[in-house]
């Protein structure tokens, strides 16, 4: 095998290895959150909550109080028990590595829409922390 052929083979092998890594390495915060919101807004809440890490914590700020939910069962239950037709539409998103920060427009049938400031922490393709507070 000549030097040129070896170089082509090395580049092809590196490309194949990089291609395989995307299936084994966790996706970034932005990618994970895009999938989460897509599933949630399509009504597939069960599939959306599979993106939660088993140790997920969620803080919800309401009327000067903070409620903390711990564990995928408790946090996931919050999303699963939400009204049918719940939509969370992210806007002005900032992907800062493991954190995904955005303002969210929350819409529920029969209720006024709401704007929230949200921060999601993602590690290895799983949501590990959520902080929701009114704007």
Q: Kindly tell me if the per-residue pLDDT of 112 is higher than 80.
A: yes
pLDDT confidence bin for 12, thresholds 50/70/90? very low
CATH topology of domain 27-134: Nuclear Transport Factor 2; Chain: A, (3.10.450)
Place of tokens 């922390």: 129
* pLDDT score for 16: 42
Give me 5's structure tokens.
Answer: 């052929």
**Cβ neighbours around 114 below 10 Å, total:** 14
3-state secondary structure of 110: coil
Rounded Cα distance, 22 and 53, in Å: 19
- The mean predicted confidence, pLDDT, of the chain is 83
């Amino acid at each position: 095998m000549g030097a040129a052929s070896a170089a082509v083979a090395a580049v092809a092998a590196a490309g194949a290895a990089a291609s395989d890594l995307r299936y084994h390495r966790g996706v970034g915060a932005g990618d994970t959150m895009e999938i989460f919101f897509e599933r949630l807004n399509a009504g597939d809440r069960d599939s959306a909550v599979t993106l939660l890490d088993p140790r997920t914590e969620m803080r919800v700020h309401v009327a000067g109080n903070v409620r903390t939910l711990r564990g995928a069962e408790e946090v996931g239950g919050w999303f699963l028990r939400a009204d049918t037709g719940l939509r969370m539409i992210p806007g002005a998103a900032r992907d800062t590595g493991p954190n995904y920060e955005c303002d969210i427009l929350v819409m529920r049938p029969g209720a006024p829409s709401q704007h929230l400031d949200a921060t999601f922490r993602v590690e290895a393709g799983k949501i590990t922390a959520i902080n929701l507070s009114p704007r």
